């Protein structure tokens, strides 16, 4: 008999990518193989995001497309997982009764049992409020052999007024340092050379942990240093630190740890103190810029990326000018820019002063134009330098594509397998990628 097949679609952030690797791992351990065709699939899983605009419309659109397939093949099982499942729970089955399993972010370990129960008992819903088993402890099936996401904490204790995460992922729960290290050591033994440590706010890692017979809790800097000692690993990344909770010992740990890459994602969100207050982000613009200065002084050449929201409720032209001013002074290598749109369930959605779309669009275009010009300048500064590039896959215009330690995308000619390290000379610059020429090929190749 042919093996059962699953189709998995992932929406949203790296946390969802990480959870999808676990969903794929659980299904594989239960005998399923992956397919890209919904018509072929015995199980279709949507791992959903509640943050992006129109996330629910997109989900119901996708579910609508599946309906005729489900009618033709009633044995097909449809699963909705992730943040929307956690947030909307039973509403999903009310709007799309052909869904078989709704599994929230905390209930992922029970996915296979829910699927089996759906066979005999009908539709299943599990949107429990607390994580009992860390998703990272589950078997994973990763799309690439050389890189892995490693979750160090789930949930968040902050309450940014635009964000749905605390509602759907709950308060922060840190993973014991020994468990993180054991996972990273195992990954390195299996040929993973690059890891990204994941948490909503990595700087508060460990605050909720206790260590037997010790008054000290492990902090994020301790974790960075410990992971840096894992043999076989070549690159360590992390996302995201919160400017409010940033501490000098993290800068020291980054500077001392040779495997920690020279890149930091440091979310600004707004350059206006008034808007930061309304967002409930408890740092201010000068403090943010002060941190950047210290980070750049300690780690020369570090690349900095950020997130910026335009058009938060009540944002005035003056507030927006403050954001442009910080962008000019910070000279980000990359910025993920978003137009504010209200997310049901967040405090910002209820605030007065919601701006009109054309006004937000006009500001957004100005911000993007400024940031693109800065990004190009920053990229041009790289031309003529040498860089180590870790190949990730095919380039869009032929050749291969990889990333420097500074997380800059580089296109290189020729065929190179994912997981290969190359030494390249940077010969061309664009706002979002560099062009490189091969200097020397290193011997490392990823383990398949």
Alpha-carbon distance of 220 to 207, in angstroms, equals: 9
Alpha-carbon distance of 113 to 79, in angstroms, equals: 13
Token pair for residue 118? 């759906």
In the complex, the residues that contact ligand SF4 under the rule CB under 6 A are: 156, 158-160, 163, 165-166, 200-201, 242
Token pair for residue 106? 């905390």
By beta-carbon proximity to ligand SF4, the closer residue of 6 and 220 is 220
By beta-carbon proximity to ligand SF4, the closer residue of 105 and 201 is 201
Least distance to ligand SF4, CB of residue 267, Å: 7
Least distance to ligand SF4, CB of residue 166, Å: 5
Reduced to 3 states (helix: H, G, I; strand: E, B; else coil), residue 435 is: strand
By beta-carbon proximity to ligand SF4, the closer residue of 280 and 328 is 280
Least distance to ligand SF4, CB of residue 105, Å: 13
By beta-carbon proximity to ligand SF4, the closer residue of 42 and 200 is 200
Alpha-carbon distance of 159 to 172, in angstroms, equals: 12
Least distance to ligand SF4, CB of residue 201, Å: 5
Q: Which residues of 48-84 are buried (b: 16+ CB within 10 A; e: fewer)?
A: bbbbbeebbebbeebbeebeeebeeeeebbbbbbbbb
Reduced to 3 states (helix: H, G, I; strand: E, B; else coil), residue 415 is: coil
Give the containing element (helix H, strand E) for 441.
strand 434-441
Least distance to ligand SF4, CB of residue 157, Å: 8
Task: Name the DSSP class of 131.
Answer: -
By beta-carbon proximity to ligand SF4, the closer residue of 47 and 201 is 201
By beta-carbon proximity to ligand SF4, the closer residue of 206 and 406 is 206
Least distance to ligand SF4, CB of residue 169, Å: 8
Alpha-carbon distance of 191 to 228, in angstroms, equals: 16
By beta-carbon proximity to ligand SF4, the closer residue of 348 and 410 is 348
Least distance to ligand SF4, CB of residue 270, Å: 12
Give the residue among 198, 191, 115, 112 at the shortest CA–CA distance from 155. 198
């Amino acid at each position: 008999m042919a093996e059962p097949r699953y189709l998995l679609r992932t929406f949203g952030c790296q946390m969802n990518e990480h959870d999808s690797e676990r969903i794929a791992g659980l299904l594989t351990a239960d005998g399923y193989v992956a397919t890209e065709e919904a018509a072929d699939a015995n199980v279709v899983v949507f791992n959903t995001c509640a943050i992006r605009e129109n996330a629910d419309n997109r989900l119901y659109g996708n579910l609508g497309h599946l309906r005729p397939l489900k009618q033709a093949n009633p044995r097909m099982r449809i699963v909705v997982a992730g943040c929307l499942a956690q947030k909307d729970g039973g509403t999903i089955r009310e709007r799309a009764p052909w869904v078989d399993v709704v599994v929230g972010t905390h209930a992922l370990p029970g996915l296979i049992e829910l699927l089996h129960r759906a066979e005999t008992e009908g539709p299943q819903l599990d949107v429990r409020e607390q994580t009992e088993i860390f998703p990272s402890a589950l078997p994973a099936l990763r799309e690439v052999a050389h890189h892995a996401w490693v979750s160090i904490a789930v949930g968040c204790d902050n309450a940014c007024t635009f964000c749905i995460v605390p509602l759907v992922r709950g308060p922060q729960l840190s993973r014991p340092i020994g468990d993180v290290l054991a996972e990273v050591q195992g990954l390195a033994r299996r040929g993973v050379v690059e890891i990204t440590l994941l948490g909503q706010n990595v700087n508060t890692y460990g605050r909720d942990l206790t260590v037997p017979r010790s008054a000290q809790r492990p902090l994020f800097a301790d974790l960075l240093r410990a992971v840096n000692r894992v043999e076989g690993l070549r690159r360590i990344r992390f996302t995201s630190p919160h400017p409010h909770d940033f501490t000098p010992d993290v800068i020291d740990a980054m500077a001392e740890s040779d495997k920690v890459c020279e890149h930091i994602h440091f979310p600004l969100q707004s350059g206006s103190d008034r808007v930061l207050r309304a967002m409930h982000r408890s740092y201010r613009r000068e403090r943010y810029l002060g941190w950047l200065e210290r980070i750049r002084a300690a780690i020369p050449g570090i690349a900095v990326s950020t997130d910026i929201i335009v058009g938060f409720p009540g944002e005035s032209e003056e507030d927006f000018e403050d954001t442009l001013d910080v962008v000019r002074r910070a000279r980000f290598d990359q910025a993920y820019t978003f137009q504010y749109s209200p997310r049901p369930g967040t405090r910002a959605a209820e605030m007065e002063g919601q701006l009109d779309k054309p006004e937000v669009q006009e500001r957004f275009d100005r911000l993007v134009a400024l940031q693109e010009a800065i990004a190009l300048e920053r990229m041009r500064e790289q031309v003529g330098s040498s860089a180590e590039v870790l190949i990730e896959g095919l380039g869009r215009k032929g050749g291969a594509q990889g990333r420097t330690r500074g997380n800059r995308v580089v296109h290189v000619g020729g065929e190179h397998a994912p997981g290969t390290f190359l030494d390249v000379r940077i010969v061309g610059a664009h706002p979002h990628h560099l062009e490189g020429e091969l200097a020397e090929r290193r011997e490392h190749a990823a383990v398949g």
